[in-house]
Amino acid sequence: MNAEIAHFLRHLEAEKQLSPNTVAAYRRDLSDLEEFLVSFLGTPEWEWAEVDRITLRSFLGWCRRRNLAARTVGRKLSAVRSFFRFLSREGRVPGDPSRGIRSPRRVRTLPGHLPQRGVELIFDIAEELARENTLAGTRTLAILELLYGSGLRLSEAHGLDLEALDLVSEQVKVRGKGRKERIVPLTSSAVGALRRYEPRRSETGAPLSRGALLVNRRGERISTRTIQRSIRSLIEVAGEEEGLSVHSLRHSFATHLLDAGADLTSVKELLGHASLSTTQIYTHTSRERLKKVYGNAHPRA
């Protein structure tokens, strides 16, 4: 890997303290840029000072010719901007060639989510599994309560430690993107599911006071793949539409709160969004549903 890229990634990891997944995404995007520059500049001995605005626009064109989605191209451009700002601050390039380059227009798609009756059916199935009083059954219900009841991301639920829970005050401390912490309330049913799961967890030999909340039979933190598999199986058994994922539960959490009259700012804080604009997409989801109800129900619609 190019020395400057490696130096930038160390900066992101050590000083910015970005998550390993985020650093890995930067590495992939900048590796694509490096691959493009070797071909575009016609030599493996190029220098970053040779890269100008036209070169970077050509890189975006190269990305689009590979049929990458506008969202993906925009993310790559964001990584390139961050990288050149870093090089400019370090005095490694005379200027920032990425300034003034516009991101490709993204088509905003409404997030997939479950109807309330679908959520109820999934919980009925999970409750039935939990009544078998097995580690897997009680754990799946606890996961479902965290993802839908508290709106956690998959990575947030996966990374939870036992000490983050406060079942007395019914809240959990979550570490989200950028390692930002927030306090999220737990539903009373989530507290009940977690208390039912605790004895099964202790039987695995996992530490009682510290350590991962969600563990396997060996007392080790379960993988994100295990979480995905358990939730997807519930969605499939419930007969919900294809294409829904674990993240759909978080989308459902936000959509159902807004449908019930929750204000946007509160939902933003619960989700851990840095910007209100990110949360606003859920208002479009609710608006589309209202239009559909209106169209089906009003005699003059």
For 277, the token pair is 């604009």
The answer to whether the beta carbons of residues 94 and 19 sit under 8 Å apart is: no
For 216, the token pair is 């396997």
- Could you identify the residue written with the tokens 């030599």? 43
Which amino acid, one-letter code, is at 181? E
65 vs 59: CA distance, rounded Å: 10
The answer to whether the beta carbons of residues 254 and 112 sit under 8 Å apart is: no
250 vs 151: CA distance, rounded Å: 5
178 vs 214: CA distance, rounded Å: 22
pLDDT at 293 over 70: no
Say which residues have a Cβ less than 8 Å from residue 107's Cβ, sequence separation at least 6: 70
Average pLDDT, the chain: 88
> In terms of Cα–Cα distance, which of 4, 7, 3 is closest to 15?
7
Each residue's pLDDT tens digit, 97-154: 999 898 887 666 656 788 888 899 999 999 999 999 999 999 999 999 999 999 999 9
The answer to whether the beta carbons of residues 244 and 109 sit under 8 Å apart is: no
More confident residue, 298 or 225: 225
For 12, the token pair is 């992101």
Coil, strand or helix at 79: helix
According to DSSP, the residues that pair with 183 across neighbouring strands are 173
Q: What share of the chain is helix, strand, coil (3-state, %, to 5)?
A: 60, 5, 35
Coil, strand or helix at 215: strand
pTM confidence score: 0.65
pLDDT at 239 over 80: no
What domains appear along the chain, each with residue ranges and CATH number? 3-89 (1.10.150), 116-247 (1.10.443.10)
| Residues annotated as part of the active site | 153, 177, 247, 250, 273, 282
Which amino acid, one-letter code, is at 234? L
Torsional sign, CA 11, 12, 18, 20: negative
CB atoms within 10 A of CB 165: 20
% of the chain beyond a pLDDT of 70: 92
